[in-house]
């Protein structure tokens, strides 16, 4: 088994119920406390997303507001790559809840929100990124509760899952932790849940080892930064294209159903 250079993952736990200025100030404060890292992950404030969903903002206005946020985040967070989410992305009639690279705006993972009539099937590309040889797969919202999504990531070569679970609706924190432990144990992968908080609810930030044991958990309403060293051994993972296609079909159905429930 080939061993790769360890990657430091910096996870930001933030108040997602504040405005842009206060949010960026808090990101800057935490970024100055954190050391250099290969990859950073943080959730964006929920107000622009809520404004879009209830019709207070057009998609164009939402997109511009998120682009400003991502530019500001890129300016204060010093990592090789910084990923943010959830971000609403539209392509024709199809709408997705996505994870995006802050500097470039490149989408790396997506969850269906609404499917148009021209939809032809699940996007065949793998929702993974490789940083210094470590293959990381992003899960969005309730993906962590579905074993098939984690299996798809593993069949795509991933050894680490980063699950983005914003406090959009009420989610049982204990259930999130249990799901993370199960996905780690079932697949022998590291699982990191990136949560956050608003005034009336929160989702936990959790770090789970491959054996399902919890390394760290933060569930209260406070901002902090977690630094996690990921030891890459991605050479042991071999992708099976046929299996990936079967899991992709299942995920298409799961995402279509779950998106209609929470949005």
Q: How far apart are CA 62 and CA 52, in angstroms?
A: 6
Per-residue pLDDT for 257 more than 80?
A: no
Instruction: Give the pLDDT band (50/70/90) at residue 185.
Output: very high
DSSP 174-193: HHHHHHHHHHHHHHT-EEEE
Q: What pLDDT sits at residue 73? A: 95
Per-residue pLDDT for 118 more than 80?
A: no
Q: How do residues 57-108 score in pLDDT, each as one tens digit?
A: 899 999 999 999 999 999 999 888 999 988 988 887 778 888 999 999 888 8
Instruction: Give the pLDDT band (50/70/90) at residue 244.
Output: low
Q: What pLDDT sits at residue 232? A: 57
Name the CATH topology of 7-262: Nitrilase/N-carbamoyl-D-aminoacid amidohydrolase (3.60.110)
Picking from 51, 63, 149, the residue whose alpha carbon sits closest to that of residue 109 is: 149
**What are the extents of the domains in the chain?**
7-262
| End-to-end CA, the chain | 43
Q: How far apart are CA 15 and CA 47, in angstroms?
A: 11
Per-residue pLDDT for 183 more than 80?
A: yes
Q: How do residues 13-56 score in pLDDT, each as one tens digit?
A: 999 999 999 999 999 999 998 877 889 999 999 999 889 888 89
Q: Which of 116-125, 152-161, 201-210 has the highest mean pLDDT?
A: 201-210
Alpha-carbon torsion (29, 34, 38, 41), positive or negative? negative
List, edge to edge, every strand of the sheet that includes 37-43.
Answer: 107-114, 94-101, 79-91, 37-43, 7-13, 224-230
- Report the chain's C-alpha Rg in angstroms: 17
Q: What pLDDT sits at residue 233? A: 52
Picking from 167, 207, 190, 204, the residue whose alpha carbon sits closest to that of residue 86 is: 167
Q: What are the b/e assignments for 228-249, b being 16+ CB within 10 Å?
A: bebebebeeeeeeeeebeebbe
Residue 48 neighbours by CB under 8 Å, 6+ apart: 57, 62, 65, 66, 69
Q: What pLDDT sits at residue 123? A: 47
Q: How far apart are CA 203 and CA 123, in angstroms?
A: 28
Evaluate whether 70 touches 62 at the Cβ level (below 8 Å).
no
Q: 197: which strand partners?
A: 15, 202
Q: How far apart are CA 207 and CA 170, in angstroms?
A: 21
Per-residue pLDDT for 259 more than 50?
A: no
Q: What pLDDT sits at residue 218? A: 92
Length of the chain: 263
Q: How do residues 125-166 score in pLDDT, each as one tens digit?
A: 556 788 877 888 998 888 899 888 888 888 888 889 999 999
105 secondary structure, DSSP code: -
**Conformational region of residue 141, where left means phi above 0, alpha means psi within -120 to 50, and beta covers everything else:** left
- Higher-confidence position of 248 and 140: 140
* Averaged pLDDT for residues 169-198: 93
């Amino acid at each position: 088994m080939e061993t790769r250079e360890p990657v430091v993952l910096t996870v930001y736990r933030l108040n997602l119920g504040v405005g842009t200025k206060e949010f960026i100030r808090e990101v800057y404060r935490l970024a100055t406390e954190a050391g250099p890292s290969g990859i950073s992950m943080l959730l964006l404030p929920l107000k622009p997303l809520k404004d879009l969903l209830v019709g207070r903002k057009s998609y164009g206005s939402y997109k511009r507001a998120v682009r400003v946020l991502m530019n500001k985040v890129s300016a204060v967070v010093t990592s090789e790559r910084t990923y943010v989410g959830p971000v609403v992305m539209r392509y024709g009639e199809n709408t997705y809840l996505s994870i995006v690279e802050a500097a470039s705006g490149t989408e790396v993972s997506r969850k269906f929100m609404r499917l148009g009539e021209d939809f032809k099937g699940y996007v065949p590309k793998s929702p993974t990124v490789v940083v210094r040889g470590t293959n990381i797969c992003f899960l969005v919202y309730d993906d962590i509760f579905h074993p098939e999504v984690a299996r798809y990531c593993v069949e795509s070569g991933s050894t680490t899952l980063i699950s983005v679970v914003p406090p959009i609706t009420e989610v049982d924190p204990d259930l999130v932790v249990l799901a993370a432990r199960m996905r780690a144990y079932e697949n022998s992968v590291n699982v990191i849940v990136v949560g956050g908080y608003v005034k009336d609810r929160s989702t936990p930030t959790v770090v789970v080892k491959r054996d399902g044991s919890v390394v760290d958990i933060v569930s209260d309403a406070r901002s902090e930064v977690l630094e996690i060293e990921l030891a890459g051994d991605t050479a042991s993972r071999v992708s099976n294209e046929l299996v990936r296609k079967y899991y992709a079909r299942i995920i298409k159905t799961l995402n279509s159903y779950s998106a209609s429930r929470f949005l």
